Amino acid sequence: MPAGLSWPAAAALAPPVLALLLALCRHLWALRWSLSRDRASALPLPKGSMGWPFFGETLHWLLQGSRFHSSRRERYGNVFKTHLLGRPVVRVTGAENIRKILLGEHTLVSAQWPQSTQIILGSHTLLGSIGDLHRQRRKVMFCRAALESYLPRIQKVVSWELRGWCMEPGSIAVYSSAKTLTFRIAAQILLGLRLEEKQFKDLAKTFEQLVENLFSLPLNIPFSGLRKGIKARDMLHEFMEKAIQEKLQRTNSEDHSDALDFIINSAKEHGKEFTMQELKESAIELIFAAFFTTASASTSLILLLLKHPSAIKKIRQELMSHELYPQCQCCPAEPNISLEKLGRLRYLDCVIKEVLRVLPPVSGGYRTALQTFELDGYQIPKGWSVMYSIRDTHETAAVYQSPPGGFDPDRFSAARPEAVSRFHYIPFGGGARSCIGKELAQAILKLLAIELVTTARWELATPAYPAMQTVPIVHPVDGLQLYFHPLRPSRGSEA
């Protein structure tokens, strides 16, 4: 304590000094990123705030959800800078801006996920692969022949799960139940795992812990999100190694018809043998491709159909016209639906597209700038992260005749003259890095919708519709509590 300064006086002085030091730290942090601009470019950096040292604006992002981006977009414009998950980020909204990013793969930008995601998922996944290897694995994992072989089994799992929902005497949390459904599809159909129910529940819980910590600060310290994600990954890898060894030892060809088999067999055809580490990481990625995002979209589908019963009526009418909705028990619908039959259901396709437009499961995609380039009058410095916004682009697109926030499946019909370009509508991203499981997800959503409208009715179990949380993935804050009831006395009659 300085001479002549009493303790009360020193205590009174401490808060202003601390505030001054914090302000100075924040100023130096902002200056550090201002000086990182590319001096060879005359363009300024995008407007925005870099937040606090190291943490940036990550805590604000996690707490505010979609409001974080919308508030900053309103303040700074469609291109603004921030600092998230340990990296400087330029957040981008708008079809023309996103078009430049998605078509600039390998020239302007390259695929990049947060460091925590890369650490947890590993280096042998599609997320990290490039060039011919990336294209080959995408083609094998979800080719049309593979999808066609999955459909009957997906339909069976969806039907079984939905019957359970209808038999539940009380309400069910749809988001949690949808995660159970999509995890069962991933485990049984994509990986061919043979699980007892307890094993299934334990594995699902562990995988959920992995996904919940994919987007965390890159701090591998006790109790951190990254540490929890790594622990979950190691537990999953231990289980997957045993399951894969059993799979490789099977000789019955009928047992080899899942996505992991397609990957293994394709590699052998090209003279390559995957290591166990590559197979374990591929197995986790397969579940990742079909689990959380599809569960989110399934929940949104059920919610939006409940809010818009006219869409349910139109789906039923379309199914009747294609003899997929029986009029009585003596005229059952054809049990198995092929990709070709799903393709004929044009209105159902419009419903799924509109669900994914209004409530896209993920908010955007990540890239890294390979070189400094211009976007909307600003420089995007080499090495910075670029996060393009799916949700904001959908919400602000001016190409739709009806209000962008409204639920209007007919906006995607051939009869409407709306010019919905590929970059105004990007629920699965776009370009060479579009979502690997988009065809699978669309098929699951269509089969779920068909099973729902032909076998069940559902109603809200709470006084009001829940608010939606958007980080890390869109879902109702209360899980969406609903009552499900079977249609009686037959599949084709109303309740």
Q: How far apart are the first and last CA of the chain?
A: 79
36: left (phi over 0), alpha (psi -120 to 50) or beta: alpha
> Taking the alpha carbons of 193, 199, 200, 204 in that order, is the dihedral positive or negative?
negative
**Is 7 within a domain?**
no
Q: Is the pLDDT of residue 491 over 70?
A: no
Q: Give CB contacts under 8 A, 24+ apart, made by 99-103.
A: 99/423, 100/373, 100/375, 101/367, 101/375, 101/386, 101/388, 102/388, 102/423, 102/426, 102/429, 102/430, 102/431, 102/433, 103/431
Q: Sorting pLDDT into bands at 50, 70 and 90, what band is 207?
A: very high
Distance of alpha carbon 172 from alpha carbon 170, whole angstroms: 7
Q: Is the pLDDT of residue 358 over 70?
A: yes
Placement of tokens 């995957």 in the chain? 274
**Is 64 within a domain?**
no
Q: Sorting pLDDT into bands at 50, 70 and 90, what band is 329?
A: very low
Rounded mean pLDDT of the chain? 84
Q: Are 361 and 296 in contact (CB under 8 A)?
A: yes
**Is 34 within a domain?**
no
Compute the average pLDDT of residues 384-396.
89
List, for residues 266-307, the tens digit of each pLDDT value: 767 666 777 888 888 888 888 887 788 999 999 999 999 999
Question: Where in the sequence is the domain holding 261, given as residue range(s)?
Answer: 131-486
List, for residues 68-103, the tens digit of each pLDDT value: 888 999 999 999 999 988 889 999 999 899 999 999
Q: Is the pLDDT of residue 23 over 90?
A: no
**Is 213 within a domain?**
yes
Which of the listed ranges 125-139, 221-235, 411-425 does the model predict with the highest average pLDDT?
221-235
**Is 41 within a domain?**
no
Q: What is the pTM of this model?
A: 0.85
What residues are paired with 378 via a beta bridge?
Answer: 375
Q: How many domains does the chain have?
A: 1
Residue 350: CATH number of its domain = 1.10.630.10
**Is 2 within a domain?**
no
- pLDDT attached to residue 142: 64
Q: Is 435 annotated as a binding residue?
A: yes
**Is 23 within a domain?**
no
- pLDDT attached to residue 332: 46
- Residue 258 sits at φ, ψ, to 5 deg, of -110, 175
**Is 8 within a domain?**
no
| Beta-carbon-side half-sphere exposure of residue 314 (alpha carbons within 13 Å) | 15
Q: Are 69 and 62 in contact (CB under 8 A)?
A: no
Distance of alpha carbon 109 from alpha carbon 269, whole angstroms: 32
